[in-house]
Amino acid sequence: MQIPKGLEPMYPSTADALQAERSRAKFDVSEMHKFIVDAGTRSRTAKVLKVLEAEPETFNLRDIYFYSRTERMEHALKMGKRLIELMQEGKLTNDEVSWADTILDTMGPYALHRSMFLPTLESQANEEQRELFLKPALKYEILGCYAQTEIGHGSNVQGLETTCTFVPETGEFEVHSPSIRASKWWIGSLGVTATHAMVMAQLIVNGKNYGPNPVVVPIRSTETHKPLPGVTVGDLGPKFGFNAMDNGFLLLDHVRVPRINLMQRYINVSRDGKVSRPANVDPKVAYGTMVYVRTQIVRNMSQVLAKATTIALRYTSQRRQFSGKSDNPQPNGLESPVLDYGMVQYRLIPLLAQNFAMFATSQAFARHYEQCMDQLNAGNFGPLKELHATACGLKRWTSDVAIRGIDTCRHVCGGHGFSSFSGLNDFYGNSYPNIIWEGDNYVLSQQVGRFLLTQVRALRSGKPVADNQTTQYLRRHLTNGRLETVPGPAFIGKSVASLAADTDAQLDLLSYRAAAMASELVDRMDEHGQTWNQSLVAMQRLSDAHSDYIVANYFRQHLATLPTDSPILPVLRKIAALNFLYVLEQNPGDLFRLPGRAAFSTKQIVEIEQLLAKLIEEVRDQAIPLVESFGVSDLKLNSALGRSDGQVYDNYLKWAMEEPINREGTGDKIREEWFQKYYKPFLQPTKSQAKL
């Protein structure tokens, strides 16, 4: 198939439009890149991209949208194998290989080996077990997965039904799935690939249940790769996304494993069935790992959203539709870029600003995390609870914003957003589980809520309360854990414009909102008999209000790392103000109902809307330079709409022509077959055609 010859060039050109957007930049894009993307990510990305681009035959995503599920899996295996080789050749580290998966948006069958099997061994194996399992695992001599979730239990980990029973006669464990409901489910890398599973099972010794503990169960022979006796294992089929991954199920029928296979860092079962817990390790350390996984999600979500905003902003700045409808009319009656329409701006610009906040937050949060880990390693577990609550709240906040954000970006592209070549669809499916795994977002909000309620209650009853960013604001706004409206918080009496210009006042208002919500919820529960279950909706809003504050706080902290005369500061301050106003504009009800003199008036709400609209227009002007400072590569975008060269329509058409059903040879054959089978029986030469 050929594009007809003699077609006119398209005027105005999309590539020129993109260049024009770039030339508007009022700041240095590479300076901004250095500030907004952390150094580790920058160098990792540069190194990994170089390696991937050097082998375009292997690391090629061009055909990926055409693949069947099986082809996707094989493509991932092929790339995955090469990545392991590159690691063994010393060209990439373990971390860099995971980063390659992110750039390629392809979680292949080895991903869980790296992201869950190895880390669990690192944190839960004793020395002997490191030798036995970790060493070969690091060399991919065994391939692992992490089998916690069952078909019947996910959020309720305590309710897992797989058992690991000590057998006194032989000194082994017998791992068993009593019913279908105990079948392990969703386990990444299990469906086809893994030889070993880290199985979470109820540890039962002499009839006593010690709760879920991890035990290594060999499931496939390393020699024949066939399932071992007693093991029923398979892939759990097609999914909304993540289809290169072999998420699997596993039923164990009284499978015996040696005693050494139970992870022994925190618990030990002796040959004669004595259960002990080593004195020198505090099990709270394990919390640190959970928090770590969530810091990674927070970082990844900024990257995920950056891909979507890059595509949508580039495309809407080039896509033209209608003339004379925007406030920024084009010369010669040309149509306006749809990004000039107020509604398109409203959908995209606050998302861009949130994306900046996410990048900044993930850096500030990572620093906070490191500090806490240092303390933990020094035996001070004080910061752990707040760190954990913050991580839960941020995991929820960032993944919610990112996943809803991809959807917004798809829809804002109109029909073309719906094409796989937009780059936003498989990607959406692949990113979606972030709102489910590592704690379903709705379940996480309860953890955040519980933490806040506990702090407020402690303040009320005069119990000791740790000192951290959360309790600091609770103490500031609450007197003995209660809202006192006189004299009231510092933001009262300030105009909306001055609030928008004053970061302290912004943080004051955002934290006051969260403190007021927390205090009100404690009132309802402790004084008006509202049950836990009746409080879940409020708790979820409280969690988000708290995270709105935390994100703003981290954004400010990260801005504070810049010299005060930095030329990129002005636009960043604008973005911070925009984020602040957007939170307010999205939650007018919260503002109207702030207690006493803090309550907002309609006039103020209207001012918020108007100032927000003004800032959106101003940031729109810099939107392309801003989004390009995230530095998302064309390889990662893999999009016809979001290309850095701005050649949208011609490449989109060329890509479509490669659809298998269009191809000469194979496609011709299928189409001919369908014609014979399905249309020919009906079709008749028509009079109209006869005339041709």
Ligand X SMILES: Cc1cc2nc3c(=O)[nH]c(=O)nc-3n(C[C@H](O)[C@H](O)[C@H](O)COP(=O)(O)OP(=O)(O)OC[C@H]3O[C@@H](n4cnc5c(N)ncnc54)[C@H](O)[C@@H]3O)c2cc1C
Active site residues: 438
Query: Which span sits near its own copies by CB under 8 A: 16-24, 118-126, 335-343, 455-463?
Result: 335-343
Residue 193 in contact with its own copies, rule: CB under 8 A: yes
Closest approach of Cβ 448 to ligand X, in Å?
A: 13
For residues 438-460, one letter each, b for 16 or more C-beta atoms within 10 angstroms of the residue's C-beta and e for the rest, the string is bbebeebbbbbbebbbebbbbbb
Distance CA 348, CA 357 (A): 14
Quote the CA–CA distance of 172 and 281 in Å, as a whole number: 25
The residues in 307-366 that bind ligand X, with binding defined as CB under 6 A, are: 319, 321-322, 325, 338, 341, 343-344
Enumerate residues 220-239 that contact its own copies by CB under 8 A. Answer: 221-223, 225, 228, 230, 232, 234-239
Residues 514 and 127: their CA atoms lie apart, in Å, by 46
Using CB under 8 A as the binding rule, whether residue 662 contacts its own copies is answered as: yes
Q: Is 437 in the site for ligand X (CB under 6 A)?
A: yes
> Under the criterion CB under 6 A, does residue 146 sit at the interface with ligand X?
yes
Residue 369 near its own copies by CB under 8 A: no
Which residue has the closest beta carbon to ligand X? 154
Q: Name residues contacting ligand X, limited to 166-195 (CB under 6 A).
A: 186-188
- Residue 60 site contact among its own copies, ligand X, none (CB < 5 to 8 Å, cut-off depends on kind): none
Indicate whether 674 belongs to the interface with its own copies (CB under 8 A). yes
Smallest separation (angstroms) from its own copies to the CB of 126: 14
Q: Is 149 known as a binding-site position?
A: yes
In the chain, the N- to C-terminal Cα span, in Å, equals 23
* Residue from 407, 388, 220 nearest 304 by CA: 407
SS3 readout for 165-177: EEECCCCEEEEEC
The two beta strands, 144-147 and 231-235, are unpaired
Query: Residue 245: which of 199, 297, 190, 300 has the closest Cα?
Result: 190
Distances (CA, A) of 4 to 8, 10, 36, 400, 561: 10, 14, 45, 45, 56
> Of 34 and 239, which CB lies nearer to its own copies in the complex structure?
239
Distant-in-sequence contacts of 559-566, Cβ < 8 A, 24+ apart? 559/360, 562/35, 566/31
- Measured from the CB atom, is 459 or 521 closer to its own copies? 521
Distance of closest approach, residue 310 Cβ to its own copies, in angstroms: 19
Write out the binding residues for ligand X, residues 393-412 only, by CB under 6 A: 412
Kindly state the DSSP code that residue 437 receives in the 8-state scheme: S
Position 620 contacts ligand X (CB under 6 A): no
Sign of CA dihedral 6, 7, 10, 14: negative
Q: What single DSSP character describes residue 91?
A: S
Amino acid at 624: I
What are the strands of the beta sheet with 231-235, ordered from one edge? 184-187, 248-252, 231-235
Q: Which is nearer to ligand X, 530 or 557 (CB)?
A: 530
Residue 645: both structure tokens together: 């060269």
C-beta of 608: minimal distance to its own copies in Å? Answer: 10
Give the type of residue at 111: A
From 35-43, 291-299, 428-436, 501-509, span contacting its own copies (CB under 8 A): 428-436
Give the DSSP H or E segment for 215: strand 208-218
Residue 451 to residues 283, 385, 457: CA-CA distances in angstroms?
20, 8, 10
From the list its own copies, ligand X, none, which binds 146 (C-beta under 5 to 8 Å, kind-based)? ligand X
Cα–Cα distances in Å, from 180 out to 46, 242, 347, 400?
47, 24, 45, 32
Among ligand X, its own copies, none, the one that 188 touches (CB under a kind-dependent 5 to 8 A) is ligand X
CB of 536 to its own copies, least distance (A): 4
| Binding of residue 154 to ligand X (CB under 6 A) | yes
Where in 440-459 is the site for its own copies (CB under 8 A)? 440, 442
Segment contacting its own copies by CB under 8 A, of 23-31, 205-213, 412-420, 565-573: 412-420
Q: How far is the CB of 189 from ligand X (least distance, A)?
A: 7
Strand partners, 518: none
The CA angle 427-659-679, to the nearest 5 degrees, is 125
Q: What is the closest distance, in whole angstroms, from the C-beta atom of residue 267 to its own copies in the complex?
A: 19
The one segment of 24-32, 51-59, 218-226, 485-493 that binds its own copies by CB under 8 A: 218-226
Helix/strand/coil for 201? strand
Establish if 253 lies at the interface with its own copies (CB under 8 A). Answer: yes
**Cβ–Cβ < 8 Å for 411, 346:** no
Report the residue from 27, 35, 117, 140 that binds its own copies according to the rule CB under 8 A: 140
Positions 438 through 467 that interact with ligand X (CB under 6 A):
440, 442-443
Distances from the Cα of 427 to the Cα of 10, 215, 223, 431, 464, angstroms: 30, 34, 36, 6, 47
What's the closest the beta carbon of residue 488 comes to its own copies, in angstroms?
16
If the CB atoms of residues 19 and 221 are measured against its own copies, the closer one turns out to be 221
Which residue lies nearer to its own copies by CB, 3 or 279?
Answer: 3
Q: Residues forming the annotated binding site for FAD?
A: 149, 188
* Interacting residues with ligand X (CB under 6 A): 112, 146-149, 154-155, 186-188, 242, 247, 319, 321-322, 325, 338, 341, 343-344, 412, 414-416, 418, 433, 436-437, 440, 442-443, 536
